[in-house]
Amino acid sequence: MADLPLSAALPAAPLRTKRRRLALPALLTVIALTLVLGAPELLPTYLVNTLIRAFLYAAVAITVDVLWGYTGILTFGQSAFFGMGAYAAGLVFTHLGFSPGMALFALAAGVAVAMLVAALLGWLAFYPGASPLYGSVMTLVLPIVVSQLLYSGGNFTGSSSGLSGFESFDLSIEAWFRIAGVFLVVLTGAVWLFVRSDGGKILEAIRDNEQRCEYLGINVSRVKVVLMIACAGIAAVAGFLFACVQMVVAPEYAGFVFGTELLMWVALGGRGTLIGPVLGTLVLDVTTSYLSGSLPFLWKLLSGLAFVIVIVALPQGFTPALWSSMKRWRRQAAAPLAALELQTAEPRPLAGLQGAGRHALALQDVRKNFGSLQVLQGISFHADPHELLSLVGPNGAGKTTLMRCIADGAERSAGKLWLNDHEIKRAPPFACVALGAGRKFQNANVFETLTVAQAMRVARTRHARPSLWRRSAVLPLPAAALQVMQATGLDQHLNLPASELSHGMKQALELAMVMALEPSVLLLDEPTAGLTKPERTLIGQILVDLTREHALCVLLVEHDLDFVREISSRVIVLHQGRIVLDGTVDEVVQSELVRAVYAGGAHAGSS
Q: Are 529 and 537 in contact (CB under 8 A)?
A: no
489 binds another protein (CB under 8 A): no
| Contact between residue 117 and residue 84 where contact means Cβ atoms under 8 Å apart | yes
Please say whether the beta carbons of 58 and 184 come within 8 A. yes
Q: Give the residues across from 377 on adjacent strands.
A: 367
DSSP for 158-205 reads TGGG-EE--------HHHHHHHHHHHHHHHHHHHHHHHHSTTTHHHHH
Residue from 96, 190, 301, 337 touching another protein (CB under 8 A): that is 301
Q: Choose between 138 and 338: whose C-beta lies nearer to another protein.
A: 138
β-strand 248-249 against 163-164: which pairing, if any?
A: antiparallel
108 binds another protein (CB under 8 A): no
449 touching another protein, by CB under 8 A: no
Give, rounded to a whole angstrom, the gap between the first and last alpha carbons of the chain: 50
Give the range of 311-319, 414-422, 449-457, 472-480 binding another protein by CB under 8 A: 311-319
Which C-beta is closer to another protein: that of 140 or that of 353? 140
**Closest to another protein by CB, 217 or 255:** 255
Q: Which is nearer to another protein, 103 or 137 (CB)?
A: 137
591 is a contact residue toward another protein (CB under 8 A): no
Q: Which residue among 10, 26, 104, 305 contacts another protein (CB under 8 A)? A: 305
User: Hey, CA dihedral for 173, 175, 177, 179, is it positive or negative?
Assistant: negative
135-143, 182-190, 231-239, 533-541 -> range binding another protein (CB under 8 A): 135-143
Q: Which stretch binds another protein (CB under 8 A): 25-33, 86-94, 302-310, 489-497?
A: 302-310
Helix (H), strand (E) at residue 431: helix 429-434
Q: Strand pairing of 553-557 and 388-392?
A: parallel
Buried/exposed code over 177-204 (b: 16+ C-beta within 10 A; e: otherwise): bbbbbebbbebbbebbbbbbbbbbbbbb
The binder of another protein chosen from 22, 26, 30, 308 (CB under 8 A)? 308
Q: Is 499 in the site for another protein (CB under 8 A)?
A: no
Closer of 31 and 149 to another protein (Cβ): 149
Report if residue 105 touches another protein, rule: CB under 8 A. no
Nearer to another protein, 138 or 555 (CB): 138
Tell me how many residues contact another protein (CB under 8 A). Answer: 39
Compare residues 304 and 489 and give the one whose CB is closer to another protein.
304
Q: Interface residues for another protein in 223-282 (CB under 8 A)?
A: 256-257, 260, 263-264, 267
Using the rule CB under 8 A, is 298 a contact of another protein? Answer: yes
In this structure, which amino acid lies at residue 600?
G
Q: Are 519 and 215 in contact (CB under 8 A)?
A: no
Q: Which of 449, 370, 346, 403 is nearest to 215 (CA)?
A: 403
**How many other β-carbons are positioned within 10 Å of the β-carbon of residue 123?**
13
For another protein, the closer CB: 2 or 133: 133
Comparing CB distances to another protein, the nearer of 83 and 519 is 83
Q: What share of the chain is helix, strand, coil (3-state, %, to 5)?
A: 55, 10, 30
Stretch binding another protein (CB under 8 A), from 121-129, 317-325, 387-395, 445-453: 121-129
CB of 74 to another protein, least distance (A): 5
Decide: is 10 part of the binding site for another protein (CB under 8 A). Answer: no
Binding of residue 426 to another protein (CB under 8 A): no
Report the alpha-carbon distance of residue 419 to residue 437 in Å, rounded: 7
Under rule CB under 8 A, residue 27 binds another protein: no
Q: Which of 4, 112, 120, 124 binds another protein (CB under 8 A)?
A: 124
C-alpha to C-alpha distance for 211 and 465, rounded to whole angstroms: 20
**Sole binder of another protein in the list 127, 156, 290, 469 (CB under 8 A):** 127
Whether residue 544 contacts residue 567, with contact meaning beta carbons closer than 8 Å, is answered with: yes
The answer to whether 523 and 406 are in contact (CB under 8 A) is: yes
Give the separation between CA 281 and CA 272, rounded to whole angstroms.
Answer: 15
Site membership for another protein, residue 373 (CB under 8 A):
no
Q: Which of 39, 113, 291, 311 binds another protein (CB under 8 A)?
A: 311
Told to check if 11 binds another protein by CB under 8 A, we report no
Q: Which is nearer to another protein, 15 or 149 (CB)?
A: 149
H-run or E-run covering 366: strand 361-370
CB nearer to another protein: pick between 294 and 354:
294
DSSP state of 39: G
Q: Does 132 bind another protein (CB under 8 A)?
A: yes
List the one residue from 12, 42, 312, 373 that touches another protein (CB under 8 A). 312
Site for another protein in 62-101 (CB under 8 A): 74
Q: Are 454 and 439 in contact (CB under 8 A)?
A: no
Q: How many CB atoms lie within 10 A of CB 336?
A: 10
Please classify residue 335 by burial: count the beta carbons closer than 10 Å to its beta carbon, then call 0-12 exposed, 13-18 middle and 19+ buried: exposed
Q: Which of 81, 307, 318, 430 binds another protein (CB under 8 A)?
A: 307
- Residue 8 touches another protein, criterion: CB under 8 A: no
List interacting residues with another protein (CB under 8 A): 74, 124, 127, 129-134, 136-138, 140-141, 144-145, 148-149, 151-152, 256-257, 260, 263-264, 267, 297-298, 300-301, 303-305, 307-308, 311-313, 315
